[in-house]
Structure formats: C-alpha cells, structure tokens
Structure 1
Amino acid sequence: MTLHRRAALLAAPSLILGAKALHAQDFPTRPIRMIVPYTPGGVSDITARLIAEPMSAALGQPVPVENRAGADGVIGTDVIAKSAPDGHTLGLVSVGHPVNAALYRLPFDTMRDFTFLTLTTRTPLVFCTARSFVANTPAELVAYARTRPAGHITYAATAGVVRLAPVIFAQRNGIEMTYVPYRGSTQAHPDLISGRVDVMFDTVSAALPHIQSGALKALATTGATRSALLPDVPTLGEAFMPGFEATTWGMVLAPAGLPVPVVTRLHREIVAALQRPEVVDRHRILGAEVSTLTPEQSRDFTQSEMEKWGAAARAAGIEPQNAG
C-alpha cells in the first residue's frame, strides 16, 4: 500500500464526519413537511399549524402541514417512518401512536423506526355520566357496580385511550363494565345523556357543552392536575385512584437515524414555538396543556405509554388486527 493511499484511507472517516457535520450545520436546505396522520381539525392538526409559522421563521424554510389520515393514523405514520432521516420530514402523532402497537399489526416498529423530538401537549379525559345516573363520584359508581351483576354497567367509547381507560379503571377496582362501541363522541352523547349507556371517558372539549348545559355530570378528570376548563372537578387520582392518569397527547417525531445536531436544532425551535403565549392560550381553550420533554424523555414516555395501553388492550382481550 502506498503512503498516499494509506493517508487517503485514514482520512476518509474524518471526511465523512465532516460532511455530516456540514450537512447538519446547513440544515434546513428545503421546506420541512409536517405530516399529521389524522383528519384536519383535531388537536394534533391544530398544534401542527400553530407551531408551523414560528418554526418557519426560525428555520428560514416553509413548514407546510400535510394531513395523511387513514387506518387510525397508521398510513401517515408509515410515511414518516419511511422518509429520509434528514430532518425535512416530521410528524405530529397522538397517543394513538403507542396504542396502535396493541391494536394493529403495523408496517413499522413503533419505537425503533422513529426519532422522538418532544411531547407537545397533554389533554385529560373527563369521566362523565347522565345527570340522572345514580352515582355522583367514582367511589359511588364502584360501590354501585359491586351490587349489580358483572358487566351490568355499560360504557360508551370510540377507540384508543377512550376505549382503554375504562378497562384500567374497572380492572383496578375489581368490577366489570360492558363496552358499547361508537364511531365518535357525537354519536355516543345522545345515548349517554338518555341513560341508554351509563358512563363514558371522553375528551373534555367534546363533553364540555353537555356538562355546562347540565345534561351530563363530570365525576372526575384524568390528568395529573385539574383541567382549566373544569377547575371544580377533581382528578380521578385525587378523588379515588392515586396515581391514575389517562391523557391524549401530541408528539413530534421524525424518521430514525436523525443526526444529533439536527435533533438538537429541531427540538429547540419546536419547544420555542410551543411556548409562545398565543400558542399556550389557544391550547388552553381546547382543554390541552402545552407540555414538552427532551428527546430522551419523549422516547421513554412513549415506551411507557406503549406498555401501559398494551396491558390494557390485553386485559380487554383485544387481538391485533391488520391496519387499514
């Protein structure tokens, strides 16, 4: 081997590292698309649009939001997973991301195929019943359920956490409740108000008009702290079940293998956008709380959520299905 060839081989790794560093330093070089794997109008979509403009101003490139809905978020999330890990494709997913690991046979790995950038928001559920229902607190509901035949108490639910939170509640309290499926909250509310189904864990924003009108009563909320929209309603953790928490949330992620300098830059700009007062206030109106984490904490949080909701799905006897 000649001296020149040996020197070239020894220099190659440093040249590659230098190219990667330069690429990260120059990032971004084109628009950054933000994929939301759900239909427009939900909290994830609203969050993405609220942070896109300040991110664009800080990064010097447009941040268009692209809705890629289908299969409970699986279709759009698969697009994120299979995109180039260069920081120019991001996604804003919900708690459905770890929940789907228990519900579907996925075309990607929920943890391994993504870089987790930051949590964005947390939104509690509200445990509610018809105004005429016999129980006024979670403890009264459990006591009442224990006097009835197993499964006598029914709960309305759509999918995801709204479907699985009652499973954890029932399991921890040694009762059985019967699941009554609905396609959406608006379809479930008339039956809940009339008493055809007994209880529901719903998003605060969806149930709030009926609670304010007196058609429904709130037994508890499910966040770590009380909801700003229902400040007089205790959390389930403080009222009856210490440590209980069930929230919907948002998370910005990217394909696996994102260079560390790009991760650092994106995390900084996303968090700065989320913490703008107008962004915080808009989320508060929706019943959501801006809540950020480091990339490492975001990954650990998603892992713990996957384990929690996976256990609930197994307890409910749910077998994974083909997505879509």
Structure 2
Amino acid sequence: MQKRTMLHGLACAALAAAAGTAMRPAAAEGYPNRPIRWVVPWPPGGGADLMARIINTKAGEILGQPIVIDNRGGAAGNIGTQIGATAPADGYTITFGYSGTLAINPFVYPDTQWKQSDFESVIFLAKVPLTLVVNANLPVKNVKEFIALAKTRQLTFGSSGPGSINHLAGVLFASMTGANLLHVPYRGGGPAMNAVLGGQVDALFMVPVVAAPQLKGDKLRAIGVTSAKRTDVLPEVPTIAEAGVPGYEVSSWNGVMVPAGTPKDVIARLNAAFNKAMQDPQVRKGLAENGYDIEGGGPERFTQWVDSELAKWGPVVKRANLRPE
C-alpha cells in the first residue's frame, strides 16, 4: 500500500510539472519566432523615435527577428505607454521608457490608466544632457553671470511644454540658485528654439545636438551643460555643476520595458540583444553623433535609475504646481 501511494504521488508530481511547463507563456520557448513590436509613445521624427531607430535594426538582427517601431504619440506619452502596459506579457511588445513618461508623468497625471508596477525593466539604454543656451544679446558669458543677472531682474526661459524635461530643468535650476526665472512654454522644441534665437525669451535648456548648429551663428551662446560630465558634442562648454551650481544634474534618458509577468528568460534574451547592439560600431557612432551617452547593464540597473529619478522629480513637479492640461 505504501509503495502504491508513493508511485501515485510521483505520478501526480510528474503531471503537475508537465502541466506547469505547458502553462508557461509560449514566448519562453524558442523566443522570438515572430517580429517584435516596439511601442514608442511619441510621433515619428522626435528624439525618442530617433533613438529607437538607431538601435532597433541591429537588435533585431541579433534576435533573429525584426523589431518594428510602432509610434503611438499623445497625452504626453501616456497613450503609447498604456498600450505597452496592457500588451500580452510574452515579449512580443516592448515599450520605449522615457524620463518624461516614467519619472515626471506619474506626478503630473496621477489618474493615468497605467502604473509603474505594470512594467518590468529590460535595459537602461542611454542618457542625453541638456545645454543651457542664452540669447547672445543677454549680457552674460557664463553660468555665474546668468545667476547674478537673474537675481537683479526676472529672466525668461522657454521649453517644449509644461512638464517637459527642459521645463523642469529650469525649475530645478531656479530652486538651487535662487535665480528669478519665468517659464514660457511652447508647442515643441523647434518653436522654443526660435523664441530664444529671436529674443522672445532669454534662455532655453535644449539637447546639445539641436543647440550645436545654432551656436555657429551670432544669435546664441551656450553657457553650461546639465550632465555630470561634459558632452562630446560641445566639449568646450562646462557643466553647470562645475560652472557654479554643485550637485546640479539633469538628463533626458530612456530604456526598454516589457509588461509585468514577462518570462525572465525572455527579458534576459532581450537584455543581452540590446546590450550587444549598443556595442556595434555603427550604433555607437549614431548615438554619439546625437549626444547620447550609452548606459546598458542588467534590467535591475534601469529599475534603480527610474526609482531614483522618481524621488528626484516628484518635489520639482510639486514646486512647479503642474496640472494636467
């Protein structure tokens, strides 16, 4: 009787193991065996779209299946991010995670239909700093002179919209320096750049690759970059920290996410492919030319970074009194 009971138990255990294997998401077996959709929550032609297209072809080659960009812009990135959050957790839909959507929107749009726990990290892709540029007619040549002038009178700074990274870069700068800065929002980076070129606003925080061509004329002056180290795009421009505001650091950043519950071996496969793709000489060249600093590493590194940025930007958003538009 004891032997029969033991054999019955072993048989049940074997059946349970087989059932567990059968119930695992199909993506974990032979992944990937069809194209992968990469949801980018911004329209074509923007910085997020550019970053994704620099790397998607090489990552797809490594995986053996194409990675197809699916641009889903709208609602400050929340529409596309929600699409990614509610996709099947099988590794065939990945989402472009961005500083605005992941670290700022949760405070500006508390009622979004997605939340941080809907995702798991795949990889930290890259960071790109901003450059503080001023209209050439403004009588300042460096960050210290800019701060000093902004303490004697109100200066204006443009942005690509309320809650954008270049808006909050200005809010953080003002809070750390005591500079009297008035925010003037525009509908995108292009109009904001035209405004500082035309003297409608005094200053602008803008990605170096956009600012660099404008510096060749006599209408704009770069006085600092927001990263912890100087950027190769504008190596002669000091960081804002070294120019007089210790501890100041702001960057736009991005990474890849998948829906929560995606098999760990699928996440590991994606992580390895993207890490390898970012070591490709052509990919590295494309990223460097556009001012991106490559990050990479394991999934947990991106999770830790997002957590630290949430802690950083929550108080800044509150200080700016941002509300959904």
TM-score, normalised to structure 2's length? Answer: 0.91
The DSSP-based 3-state class of the residue aligned with 2:318 is helix
Report the alpha carbon displacement of residue 12 of structure 1 after superposing the two structures with TM.
5.0
The DSSP-based 3-state class of the residue aligned with 1:212 is coil
Instruction: State the alpha-carbon separation in 1 of the partners of residues 194 and 61 from structure 2.
Output: 45
The corresponding residue for 1:156 is 158
Find 2:17's aligned residue among 14, 19, 23: 14
**1:115–1:253 CA contact under 8 A, matched in 2:** yes
Report the alpha carbon displacement of residue 247 of structure 1 after superposing the two structures with TM.
0.9
Instruction: State the alpha-carbon separation in 2 of the partners of residues 259 and 211 from structure 1.
Output: 48
List alignment gaps of at least 5 residues for structure 1: none
Instruction: State the alpha-carbon separation in 2 of the partners of residues 316 and 91 from structure 1.
Output: 28
List alignment gaps of at least 5 residues for structure 2: none
Matched, 1:99 2:101: no
Q: Which runs of 4+ in 1 moved over 6 A?
A: none
Instruction: State the alpha-carbon separation in 2 of the partners of residues 245 and 12 from structure 1.
Output: 56
Paired AA for residue 108 in structure 1:
W
Report the alpha carbon displacement of residue 176 of structure 1 after superposing the two structures with TM.
2.9
For the structure 1 residues 193 and 22, does the alpha-carbon distance in structure 2 shift closer, same or farther, using more than 3 Å as the test? Answer: closer
For the structure 1 residues 61 and 227, does the alpha-carbon distance in structure 2 shift closer, same or farther, using more than 3 Å as the test? Answer: same
For the structure 1 residues 51 and 192, does the alpha-carbon distance in structure 2 shift closer, same or farther, using more than 3 Å as the test? Answer: closer
For the structure 1 residues 60 and 186, does the alpha-carbon distance in structure 2 shift closer, same or farther, using more than 3 Å as the test? Answer: closer
For the structure 1 residues 26 and 177, does the alpha-carbon distance in structure 2 shift closer, same or farther, using more than 3 Å as the test? Answer: same
Find 1:120's aligned residue among 119, 125, 128: 125
The corresponding residue for 1:89 is 93
Give the 5 Å matches for 1:45-194. Answer: 45-97=49-101, 98-104=103-109, 105-109=111-115, 111-148=116-153, 152-159=154-161, 160-194=164-198
**1:56–1:62 CA contact under 8 A, matched in 2:** yes
**1:275–1:290 CA contact under 8 A, matched in 2:** no
For residues 235-263 of structure 1, the C-alpha deviation after alignment (integer angstroms, 9 at most, x for no partner) is: 11221122221111221111111111111
Report the alpha carbon displacement of residue 7 of structure 1 after superposing the two structures with TM.
4.5
Report the alpha carbon displacement of residue 309 of structure 1 after superposing the two structures with TM.
1.7
Give the 5 Å matches for 1:273-292. Answer: 273-292=277-296
- What's the C-alpha RMSD, in Å, of the aligned pairs? 2.0
Paired AA for residue 201 in structure 2:
V
TM-score, normalised to structure 1's length? Answer: 0.91
Report the alpha carbon displacement of residue 188 of structure 1 after superposing the two structures with TM.
2.2
For the structure 1 residues 55 and 191, does the alpha-carbon distance in structure 2 shift closer, same or farther, using more than 3 Å as the test? Answer: closer
Percent identical pairs in the alignment equals 32
> What is the aligned residue count?
316
**2:158–2:203 CA contact under 8 A, matched in 1:** yes
**2:120–2:258 CA contact under 8 A, matched in 1:** yes
Paired AA for residue 139 in structure 2:
V
The DSSP-based 3-state class of the residue aligned with 2:216 is helix
The corresponding residue for 2:275 is 271
For residues 231-289 of structure 1, the C-alpha deviation after alignment (integer angstroms, 9 at most, x for no partner) is: 10001122112222111122111111111111111100011112211011111111222
Instruction: State the alpha-carbon separation in 1 of the partners of residues 206 and 262 from structure 2.
Output: 36
Report the alpha carbon displacement of residue 59 of structure 1 after superposing the two structures with TM.
2.0
Instruction: State the alpha-carbon separation in 2 of the partners of residues 312 and 258 from structure 1.
Output: 33
Instruction: State the alpha-carbon separation in 2 of the partners of residues 5 and 100 from structure 1.
Output: 55
For the structure 1 residues 22 and 196, does the alpha-carbon distance in structure 2 shift closer, same or farther, using more than 3 Å as the test? Answer: closer
The corresponding residue for 1:316 is 320
Question: Which sits farther off after the overlay, 204-213 or 44-53?
Answer: 44-53
For residues 276-317 of structure 1, the C-alpha deviation after alignment (integer angstroms, 9 at most, x for no partner) is: 110111111112222213211101101111221221110111
Instruction: State the alpha-carbon separation in 2 of the partners of residues 75 and 60 from structure 1.
Output: 29
